[in-house]
Amino acid sequence: MTTTSLAPAPAPAAAAPSRWLALGVLATSMLMTILDGSIVTVAMPAIQSDLGFTPVGLSWVVNAYLIAFGSLLLLSGRLGDLIGRKRMFLAGTGVFTVASLLAGAATTPGLLIAARFLQGVGSAMASAVSLGILITLFTDPRERARAIAVFSFTGAAGASIGQVLGGLLTDALAWNWIFFINLPIGIAAVLAALPALPSDRGLGLRAGADALGALLATSGLMTGIYAVVKIEEYGAGSARTLGLGALALALLAGFLVRQAKAANPLMPLRILRSRSVAGANLVQVLMVAAMFSFQILVALYLQKVLGYSAAQTGLAMLPAAVMIGAVSLGVSARLMSRFGERNVLLAGLVLLLGALALLIRVPVHASYATDLLPVMLLVAGGGLALPAVTSLGMSGAREADAGLASGLFNTTQQIGMALGIAVLSTLAATRTETLTEAGRPLAEALTGGYHLAFTVGAALLLTALAATATILKPPAKTPAETPAEAPAKAPATAPAGV
């Protein structure tokens, strides 16, 4: 298959001085984005006390970011294809850095929430195109596997590092510094990106300037994410939640109809015809939702049941980040090269399932060494699953759709996060309330609530395993297939002018 069959294709990108330097820039941006999401959770009590947030208002420190980030990823990814992915990355990193300064300097709840929304906008712009840039830089399958392993590790480790750093900064300085720390990172990322990232002119807005489609997609995603993050407050079966959910589905259905008819669609539906793209995005939603029961609820269990401080909680979860890093950076690329992404993904999901199975039985008076450390070690499965599902999610994308595929993949990741936080937290809170009303001690009631959430998380991972085994099943080779035909199955590996 030749590049001439990929019509229309963006203008060739100028070669970057170093692809690995470019990877460092992309990974740094990802680290900053993920770090910001987890670092805030540890500092929430201090933010509430200092700025006078109400309990309901405090949730918007997280929700404002999630809604902006999740709803704009798809649009940002496609705009990156149209106007140039490097331009979109630089603009997004700049917006995020300025918003971090505003968040750290906020003196009222309203100012902080507005700054957090702006942070979400910048994160969406930069994150949406990062994977698209990466797959056009690394065209050799083995190099691409290593690059995706580094990128995935940065995202996975950023959450754990954020909890450690958030606790240390909040205890030693003040909550403001969880935002101010982004300033030197963001400035360095922009300065390094200017020479490191390849310049690309994009397809041009005429190739997909679908204003109505953009409006339908963004409003549908924004409404849906808002409905999800408010489940804990209003309940999953409330008229408000169901009404917003129905409206979101109607808007997204209208978006798909529009894309099927538009002359220059914002999201060409051909991208969903790839089993690897569609299947990997589905698996990611299930996996990320399940693992947020680990990331969030284990932290709450350590603090509310075992009495750990913020800094102690971050340090207790640090082995998980170390294991993910050791596996993703050390062996995941070699395993994918030898056994294939699908088999590595299956192995990673099994290890993650084992971690949640242990958490289902974690006691009220747990020993870290015997009850929790084995969980942290099994979470190493994330170091296998994350690079594998990322590679599968991008493998079916054409060069002209790389930004769109990247935006779609990041969108489903955020949907998984939002669902995991909202649904599993609600289940845990409801079960805790029921046990408390039955006369159970608070620590026992909290543990019972977490057990239910971990059980549902394990069920989500089982579903992800089933989806991987069926949807992502490799197609059978036909007798007529020859090695020369192989590139047609993964056109994203075609040279991108770098």
> Does any domain span residue 496?
no
Same domain assignment for residues 339 and 282: yes
What's the whole-model pTM score?
0.73
How far apart, in whole angstroms, are the C-alpha atoms of residue 254 and residue 21? 41
CA 277 – CA 270 distance, rounded (Å): 10
Contact by Cβ (8 Å): 454, 360: yes
Question: What pLDDT sits at residue 492?
Answer: 35
Q: How many domains does the chain have?
A: 2
DSSP state of 199: P
Q: What is the pLDDT of residue 485?
A: 39
Give the residue numbers spanning the domain of 224: 210-263
pLDDT at 351 over 90: yes
> Do residues 354 and 293 lie in contact, with contact meaning Cβ atoms separated by under 8 Å?
no
Give yes or no: residues 204 and 214 share one domain: no
Is there a domain that residue 186 lies in?
A: yes
Distance CA 180, CA 58 (A): 20
Fill in the amino acid letter for 60. W
Whether 280 maps to a domain, the answer reads yes
The two three-digit tokens of residue 354, written as one number = 């084992």
Chain centroid to Cα 483, Å, comes to 35
Tell me the C-alpha to C-alpha distance, in Å, between residue 412 and each of 280, 406, 496.
Answer: 10, 10, 26
Please report how many Cα atoms fall inside a 13 Å half-sphere around the Cα of residue 31, on the Cβ side: 20
Please tell me the distance from the alpha carbon of residue 335 to that of residue 333, in angstroms, as a whole number: 5
Judged by DSSP in three states, 230 sits in: coil
Q: Hey, what amino acid is at 5?
A: S
What value does the mean pLDDT of the chain take?
Answer: 78
Do residue 51 and residue 110 come from a single domain?
A: yes
Residues 114 and 137 in one domain: yes
**Spatial CB neighbours of 206, under 8 Å, sequence gap ≥ 6:** 264
Q: Are 121 and 91 in contact (CB under 8 A)?
A: no
Residues 6+ apart with CB under 8 A from 246: none
- The pLDDT confidence band at residue 67, using thresholds 50, 70 and 90, is confident
Can you tell me the distance from the alpha carbon of 165 to that of 52, in angstroms, rounded to the nearest whole number?
23
Q: Are residues 134 and 216 in the same domain?
A: no
The pLDDT of residue 9 is above 60: no
Give per-residue pLDDT as tens, 386-430.
Answer: 888 888 877 766 666 666 677 777 778 777 877 787 778 778 888
Domain CATH for 68? 1.20.1250.20
Residues 230 and 296 occupy one common structural domain:
no
Domain assignment present for residue 498? The answer is: no
What pLDDT does residue 212 have?
Answer: 80
